Amino acid sequence: MKEARKASLQVLERLEEAGFQAYWVGGCVRDELLNREPTDYDVATDAPPEKVQSLFAKTVATGIQHGTVTVLIHRQAVEVTTFREETGYRDHRHPGQVQFIKRLETDLARRDFTINAMARDRRGCLIDPFGGEKDLQSKLVRAVGEAEERFQEDALRMVRALRFCAQLRFRLDEQTKVALIRQKSLLRYLVVERVTQELEKLWATEKPSRGIRPLWEMGLFPHLPPFTRWGRVVGDPAIPVEEMDRRIGRWARWALFLHLCGVHPEKSKPHLRSFRLPAKDVEIVSSVYRLGFQWQLTPIDGRTGKQFLLTHGKEKLESALETAAAIHRWDAEEEEGMREALIRWQREMPVHHLRELRVNGRSLMEATGRKPGPWTGRVLNTLLKKVALGELPNEAEALIEEGCRLVQQDS
């Protein structure tokens, strides 16, 4: 049994021994019924949070005001949340009050979808008051209770619904879909970070198109941040959204999403920033998109290809290639041909990084008697290029000699 599951089972046992109810809930119950590996094993109990803290040696008060305590067992973290009822939702995001309760069914009723509103005890008994198991069999994402009300309480549930459809390859239940369309204007209350988080989860699925096609089909862009702040309308997708499914890299998926939304590569940075992506991702994705957009299907000679590899690195170029193949609709054979060339160039290069060079800044300074300065970087990069292209052996003596010659030229 997986360590994480074992740890959560120990939590259930300890809570029951102490006279409390304790269940696995939510995602892990759903995923095990689907024979999928759960990402984590959440526990729900009627024990108050302080009681949970006192029952275990190591705990962290993760979200104690909402009833969540993280229990640490053999370096595994198990989230234990006290049964709760949520009332008085504010700004379509947060519940106004949270009340700790004794009844499991009431706790399950606050959860978003039937497939996420099941619990299982340690003996394997399933508690499924809203027909979650049946919906799992019918592959349906259905809101618990009145879908419109549930979306009004928390607008994020609308985006989660689309994400679960993609992640599990499910469909939206018809009434839930109607409710989503009717309540879509509430999407404007979402904070961008949560939308981005859901998009990232989509990029990690096999077929993200299932989650993003509805953005167009249901007309969600005019309501959903950050698209609402772009100052322009997102038009029809530039290429079929399914093109995204065949490209599995996260960078390529971000780049293709921008392309689908009609963002020009030269304008990609501010658009990527609008998702509040880390600065490093903004840099990488924008250059992947630009490279992919410009990539032509003309034969590239090895020298040019290898210089490209040196400048951008293998990882980025592979993403750019995925992006290019989708944007320019290359067929599988053309894409494969390009990929093989990339692999061949990479293999033919004796070195790929400065750290592999048998010379460094210090040895160059010693050999030339020059003070440190930007010249070392320039000279080292020229040496790297020469070695990578097979024009110079990667041997200290030859490198120093050529380095000294370059230094004279440099000054």
Contacting positions for ligand ATP (CB under 6 A): 26-27, 39, 42, 111-112, 116-117, 154, 156-157
Q: Nearest approach, Cβ of 338 to Mg ion (angstroms)?
A: 38
- Of residues 167 and 268, the one with the C-beta less far from Mg ion: 167
- Of residues 157 and 290, the one with the C-beta less far from ligand ATP: 157
- Classify residue 83 as exposed, middle or buried by CB count within 10 Å of its CB (0-12, 13-18, 19+): buried
- Of residues 117 and 359, the one with the C-beta less far from ligand ATP: 117
- Of residues 27 and 63, the one with the C-beta less far from Mg ion: 27
Q: Is the CA virtual torsion 91, 92, 94, 97 positive or negative?
A: positive
392 binds, among ligand ATP, Mg ion, none (CB under 5 to 8 A by kind): none
Q: Nearest approach, Cβ of 58 to Mg ion (angstroms)?
A: 21
368-372 CB contacts, 8 Å cutoff, 24+ apart: 368/403, 368/404, 368/407, 370/407
Q: Is the CA virtual torsion 157, 159, 161, 164 positive or negative?
A: negative
Q: Nearest approach, Cβ of 383 to Mg ion (angstroms)?
A: 50
Rounded CA-CA distance 334/297 in Å is: 8
157 binds, among ligand ATP, Mg ion, none (CB under 5 to 8 A by kind): ligand ATP
Q: Nearest approach, Cβ of 316 to Mg ion (angstroms)?
A: 31
Q: Nearest approach, Cβ of 170 to ligand ATP (angstroms)?
A: 13
Give the chain's length: 411
Give residues in contact with Mg ion (CB under 5 A).
27
Residue nearest to Mg ion (CB): 27
Cα 207–chain centre separation: 13
291 binds, among ligand ATP, Mg ion, none (CB under 5 to 8 A by kind): none
Find out whether 319 and 255 touch, Cβ atoms under 8 Å: yes
Unique residue bearing structure tokens 């459809």: 165
- Of residues 27 and 262, the one with the C-beta less far from Mg ion: 27
